[in-house]
Amino acid sequence: MSKTVNGFSKLAKLEKIDWLISNFFNNDIKVKQVLMQYWNSDTVLQELHDDFIENTISNYYLPFGIAPNFIINGIDYTIPMAIEESSVVAAASLTAKFWSARGGFKAKVIATKKVGQVHFMYEGDKATLQNYFVNKKQALLQATETITQNMKKRGGGILDIELRDKTAELKNYYQLHVTFETVDSMGANFINSCLESMANEFQNNSIQIVMSILSNYVPECLVQAEVSCKVSELGVENSELFAQKFVQAVQIANAETYRAVTHNKGIMNGIDAVVIATGNDFRAIEAGAHAYASKSGRYKSLTNATIENGIFKFWIEIPLALGTVGGLTKLHPLSKLSLKMLGNPSAKELMKIIAVAGLAQNFAALRALTTSGIQKGHMKMHLTNIIKQLGANEEDKQYLIDYFEHKTITHNAVVEAYNKLVRENE
């Protein structure tokens, strides 16, 4: 039977759900109950969520946690994190506490340029195109004046327009490469509107516009965060060996792509969690970060570590195109709350905070990997999730937590221990 449907977007929410369970869940009423139990009882709030995307049938919740004790450039922060993976918030909190006793984190914004491009095809003489561009450049800026006037008042706008010859990569391919300053806005809509106006002004009978779109690769929208202390102050047994192994772990991530991908994924655990909590676009951040990790021609670590003159230093350099105005930042109630928790930061301040979250996460992971191993802490956090899946009561839950205090935690081991406990209690 065909499951094709016409006019689906025009159906009411309950009608969409009825169609769904009729076609995919054999009219199981429990599916409808599951979807509806996540509706917000506040109808105004639910309508707000319904309008975020199309064809909404329910809400998908992520745990919203906080990681306290972060000191960044001498300022205390409690960082909001929205993520489903266990141990991420705990790791961030532990790292924040660790470095708060060692001067905290230092962070600085290196640059804030964002990029957009008009991609076009041109088969004529290159010199003629160059002359056309030079004569047209001022008109391209004038074509965007109605769009840029408010942004200019806030200190932003178009920084430059370049004509780039890309015919070595693709026959007849050129682009207008445009750089922007968008201040506290992520700026996607602003950039795309400017580019489309430029494209309309630039095209002629010889120039075929293919598309106009911002780039999520922003190597000049860059932030750096770091921590450092004497090796002897690292607070572990045999601190010199620990520091040496830590630096080697980072070096391995720079030498081995298989390791680098997982290494950077751990960094993004911390970054994405704060990006999501503050209503920013984690997919754009992910894409830009991983492209930056490949800027040398080989995928490498986003972090670095050194030991020089007895000083351990660990830092991250990462592109982060963020906004604190526009989009969900002023619509989603928890995003607004998150930004208020952070002191209503500017986009530059938020860049620093989020870079620190990524650095903290990486420090926690590398410290575990080079000492006790990653699974000990991770599986301890995961233990409660396994117990919940088994449906254990509070008494049995506490017994299992105590039982595995000094034992290796695996899913099978927990299931066996729980089944044995049930049999003994029968």
Picking from 227, 257, 251, 261, the residue whose alpha carbon sits closest to that of residue 102 is 227
Distance CA 229, CA 1 (A): 67
What type of residue is 61?
A: Y
Coil, strand or helix: which one is 151?
Answer: helix
Q: Is the pTM of this model over 0.75?
A: yes
Catalytic-labelled residue, pool 281, 332, 349, 352: 281
- For 32, the domain range is 8-50
Q: What is the CATH number of the domain that holds 292?
A: 3.90.770.10
Q: Are residues 239 and 361 in the same domain?
A: yes
Q: Are residues 102 and 120 in the same domain?
A: no
Residue with tokens 């979807």: 35
Q: What is the pLDDT of residue 321?
A: 97
The CA-to-CA distance between both ends of the chain, in Å, stands at 48
Considering only the C-alpha atoms of the chain, give the largest distance between any 2 of them, rounded to a whole number of Å: 89
Q: Could you read off the pLDDT of 119-143 as tens digits, one per residue?
A: 999 999 999 999 999 999 999 999 9
The tokens of 34 are what? 């599951």
Q: Could you read off the pLDDT of 105-122 as tens digits, one per residue?
A: 999 999 999 999 999 999
Q: Are residues 409 and 278 in the same domain?
A: no
Q: Are residues 35 and 74 in the same domain?
A: no
Q: What is the pLDDT of residue 138?
A: 97
Q: What is the CATH number of the domain that holds 137?
A: 3.30.70.420
What type of residue is 147?
A: I
Q: Are residues 232 and 348 in the same domain?
A: yes
Total count of domains within the chain: 4
Q: Tell me if 84 is assigned to some domain.
A: yes
Which residue, 157, 186, 215, sits at the end of a domain?
215
- Give the CA dihedral 142, 147, 150, 154, nearest 10 degrees: -80
What type of residue is 297?
A: G
Q: Tell me if 75 is assigned to some domain.
A: yes
Q: Tell me if 56 is assigned to some domain.
A: no
Catalytic-labelled residue, pool 265, 290, 380, 397: 265
Q: What is the pLDDT of residue 378?
A: 56
Q: Tell me if 1 is assigned to some domain.
A: no
Q: Are residues 186 and 258 in the same domain?
A: no
Kindly give the interhelix angle for 257-277 and 282-293, rounded to the nearest 10 degrees: 150
Which residue, 215, 241, 268, sits at the end of a domain?
215
Q: Are residues 312 and 170 in the same domain?
A: no
Q: Tell me if 55 is assigned to some domain.
A: no
Q: Is 171 a catalytic residue?
A: no
Q: Is 152 a catalytic residue?
A: no
Instruction: Write out the DSSP string of 71-138.
Output: EETTEEEEEEEE--STTHHHHHHHHHHHHHTTT-BEEEEEEE-EEEEEEEEE-S-HHHHHHHHHHHHH
Coil, strand or helix: which one is 54?
Answer: coil
Q: Tell me if 58 is assigned to some domain.
A: no
Q: Tell me if 131 is assigned to some domain.
A: yes
Residue with tokens 């989020």: 354
Kindly give the interhelix angle for 257-277 and 347-369, rounded to the nearest 10 degrees: 140
Q: What is the pLDDT of residue 379?
A: 63
The tokens of 349 are what? 């301040």
Q: Are residues 382 and 414 in the same domain?
A: yes
Q: Are residues 350 and 245 in the same domain?
A: yes
Kindly give the interhelix angle for 188-202 and 126-142, rounded to the nearest 10 degrees: 130
Q: Is 85 a catalytic residue?
A: yes
Q: Is 281 a catalytic residue?
A: yes
Catalytic-labelled residue, pool 42, 47, 85, 160: 85
CA angle 293, 177, 281 (to 5 degrees): 50
Q: Are residues 307 and 269 in the same domain?
A: yes
Coil, strand or helix: which one is 162?
Answer: strand
Distance CA 426, CA 421 (A): 9
Catalytic-labelled residue, pool 114, 300, 378, 382: 378
Q: Are residues 290 and 347 in the same domain?
A: yes
Q: Are residues 199 and 130 in the same domain?
A: yes
CA distances from 398 to 11, 277, 295 (A): 48, 31, 49
Q: What is the pLDDT of residue 398?
A: 86
Residue with tokens 């299992």: 400
Q: What is the pLDDT of residue 377?
A: 56
Low-confidence ranges of the chain (pLDDT < 50): 1
Residue 343 DSSP label: T
Q: What is the pLDDT of residue 40?
A: 94
CB 179 within 8 A of CB 159: yes
Distance CA 26, CA 340 (A): 46
Which residue, 329, 356, 371, sits at the end of a domain?
371
Task: Report which secondary-structure segment, H or E, holds 60.
Answer: none
Q: Tell me if 185 is assigned to some domain.
A: yes
